Amino acid sequence: MKSRVFSGARPTGRQHLGNYLGAIQNYVKLQDQYDCVYCIVDIHALTTLDNTRELQKNIHEMALDWLAAGIDPKKSIMFVQSHVPEVCELHTILSMVTPLSWLLRVPTFKEKVKQNPGNVNYGLVGYPVLMTSDITLYKADVVPVGEDQLPHLELAREIVRRFNDHFGETLPEPKAQMTAFPMVVGLDGKSKMSKSLNNHIELAMTEEETLKRVMTSVTDPARQFRKDPGHPEVCPIYALHKYFNPLQQENVAATCRTAERGCVDCKKAMAAEINEALKPFRERRAELAAKPKYIDDVLNDGAVRASVIARQTIKEVKQKMGLL
């Protein structure tokens, strides 16, 4: 039997280069080696959303991005988290073996509390328990994620160990799998690329939007004038060259350091490379966007297939705990 992969992402709408380089490219690659389950985690999104009007649209946009990027519903299961409600049952069960102190020291929780002290809800504290439930409901061994998710994965492993210690070997300990770009820096050059910080480039932007967006990026702040030598290692545009232009990477760095290459030209070249690389993706996305029923069918079929696995795991977990 093949090992299983699980990963998920919050339906924040169209996916950005950080999502793609840090996670989605691995989702696609792993499909040939593993049984893969990919989930649009709408319940997780509720922990921070103050309105849910956009939720269905965001789910649809994200599904389009995933399919256009190469997730193949014939090979992989792709579904919406709330369509398989067993995850909520497992969440409650796992919350009983998770000490509150473990959850209160999770860095993403502390960050969210700082960002929005007025909305520290019970669900937010339990976010990593729900994530552990996602992964273990499908008995996944491998979890492709970006670097920001590693503390959650570590906690998932601890929860699994505690469950197995109490009730006997039942759930596999999941391992994170990262790409060569586990932390893509945003166009502000300071933080990880993220939609909420508005420092991102969406995969589905038009060529013009991409160029405009790239031109807003910071580069090396020490480079005030065209003749100033640059420091490519601090520049978010240079970081993107590493992915989109690996063969020219050394040349780009060298000509930046000697100021032969200016930032404006460098950004224009970068935008052209992103546009070239994303051309097939954008064409496939446009074709898929014309078939909304197909997207619904993929997600419905995914939920049916995911439910079969979920029901088996819940039954086993309940038996182990004496609930059955």
* Residues annotated as part of the active site: 112, 192, 195
The CA angle 160-34-39, to the nearest 5 degrees, is: 65
Residue placing its CB nearer to ligand TYM in the complex, 127 or 262 = 127
The CA angle 12-31-184, to the nearest 5 degrees, is: 45
Q: Which of 182, 230, 232, 302 binds ligand TYM (CB under 6 A)?
A: 182
Footprint of ligand TYM on 11-40 (CB under 6 A): 18-19, 22-23
Asked if residue 183 binds ligand TYM (CB under 6 A), the reply is yes
Residue placing its CB nearer to ligand TYM in the complex, 17 or 223 = 17
Strand partners of residue 185: 192
Asked if residue 77 binds ligand TYM (CB under 6 A), the reply is no
Separation between Cα atoms, residue 31 and residue 113, nearest integer Å: 36
Q: Residue 4: helix, strand or coil by DSSP?
A: strand
Separation between Cα atoms, residue 232 and residue 258, nearest integer Å: 11
Asked if residue 125 binds ligand TYM (CB under 6 A), the reply is no
Number of residues that bind ligand TYM (CB under 6 A): 26
Footprint of ligand TYM on 190-229 (CB under 6 A): 192-194
Q: What is the DSSP string of 79-138?
A: EEGGGSTHHHHHHHHHHTTS-HHHHHT-HHHHHHHHH-GGG--HHHHTHHHHHHHHHHHT
> To which H or E segment does residue 2 belong?
none
Residue 224: CB minimum distance to ligand TYM, A: 28
Asked if residue 313 binds ligand TYM (CB under 6 A), the reply is no
- Six-digit token pair at 211? 């160029």
Residue 108: CB minimum distance to ligand TYM, A: 8
Strand partners of residue 36: 5
Q: Which of 4, 8, 262, 267 binds ligand TYM (CB under 6 A)?
A: 8
CB atoms within 10 A of CB 120: 12
Residue placing its CB nearer to ligand TYM in the complex, 157 or 192 = 192
Separation between Cα atoms, residue 273 and residue 310, nearest integer Å: 42
Asked if residue 112 binds ligand TYM (CB under 6 A), the reply is no
Residue 18: CB minimum distance to ligand TYM, A: 3
Residue placing its CB nearer to ligand TYM in the complex, 43 or 269 = 43
Residue 288: CB minimum distance to ligand TYM, A: 20
Using CB under 6 A as the criterion, which residues of the chain lie in contact with ligand TYM when the complex forms? Answer: 6-10, 18-19, 22-23, 41, 44, 131, 134-135, 143, 145-146, 148-149, 152, 182-184, 192-194
